[in-house]
Structure 1
Amino acid sequence: MKWHHVQENWPAFYEAILDKWPAADEADLDEIDGDQRAFIAYIAETTGSDLDEVREELREWLMGEIPSDVVMDPLHDNHSIKLSGKFVNEGEDEYSDDASFGDDEREGE
């Protein structure tokens, strides 16, 4: 995942952040509001770690999967649906009911 995923869905990442950095506090995360530099500085201060060490931990954490509660967020869904448009046949709308996708050439109809 990329930091912009985290920033755009900041509150949805709280649980994953607290799993990785249990010393973090949700009220403090509210104040950080997705600012990457502020987050790195906060984690370094909270854990007593070096900034470079926190940056490396963050890089590793970002290599993981997007948490399911973020994936289920409607904003993320709409983005995924839009990206899926390249796989939808011409003349079909990627936002249409997907039960009708590919039904254009059904035999007997």
Structure 2
Amino acid sequence: MKWHHVQENWSAFYEAILDRWPAAEEAELDEIDGDQRAFILYLSELSGQEVEETRAEIREWLSGELPSDVVMDPRHDNRSIALSQKYVPDGEDEYDDDSRFGDDGN
């Protein structure tokens, strides 16, 4: 993922941030509001690490998957559907109507 994913969906990342950095506090995350520099400085102070070490740790964290709260965002639906292609048998289109699988039309 890229930082803009984090910044655009800041509050959806709280759980993932708190999983990775349990000492972080939601009130502080509210104040940071997706500002990457502020987040780096906050984590650096929180952990007692050098800023570069914290930056590297965040880069490693960014190499992971998007949290499900973000993936479920309608802006990501088409990408999620396209990624599901690997689970659809050959000859079928992942964008086809799925009514024969119990879709109730809602």
Unaligned runs of 5+ in 1: 85-96, 101-109
User: In the TM superposition, what is the alpha-carbon distance from 1:73 to its structure 2 partner?
Assistant: 1.9
Name the structure 2 match of 1:23: 23
Give the residue type in structure 1 aligned to 2:29.
L
What TM-score comes out, normalization by structure 2 length? 0.72
For residues 29-55 of structure 1, give each alpha carbon's deviation from its aligned partner in whole angstroms, at most 9, with x where no partner exists.
011010000000000011111101100
- Percent identical among aligned pairs is 71
Whole-Å separation in 2 of the counterparts to 1:98 and 1:7: 33
Q: Superposition pairs for residues 80-95 of structure 1, below 5 Å?
A: 80=79
Whole-Å separation in 2 of the counterparts to 1:66 and 1:17: 11
The structure with more radius of gyration: 1
Name the structure 2 match of 1:105: none
Q: Does 1:73 align with 2:73?
A: yes
Whole-Å separation in 2 of the counterparts to 1:14 and 1:56: 19
Name the structure 2 match of 1:99: 97
Unaligned runs of 5+ in 2: 83-94, 99-106
Name the structure 2 match of 1:90: none
Give the RMSD, CA atoms, in angstroms: 2.2
Whole-Å separation in 1 of the counterparts to 2:11 and 2:96: 30
User: In the TM superposition, what is the alpha-carbon distance from 1:98 to its structure 2 partner?
Assistant: 4.5
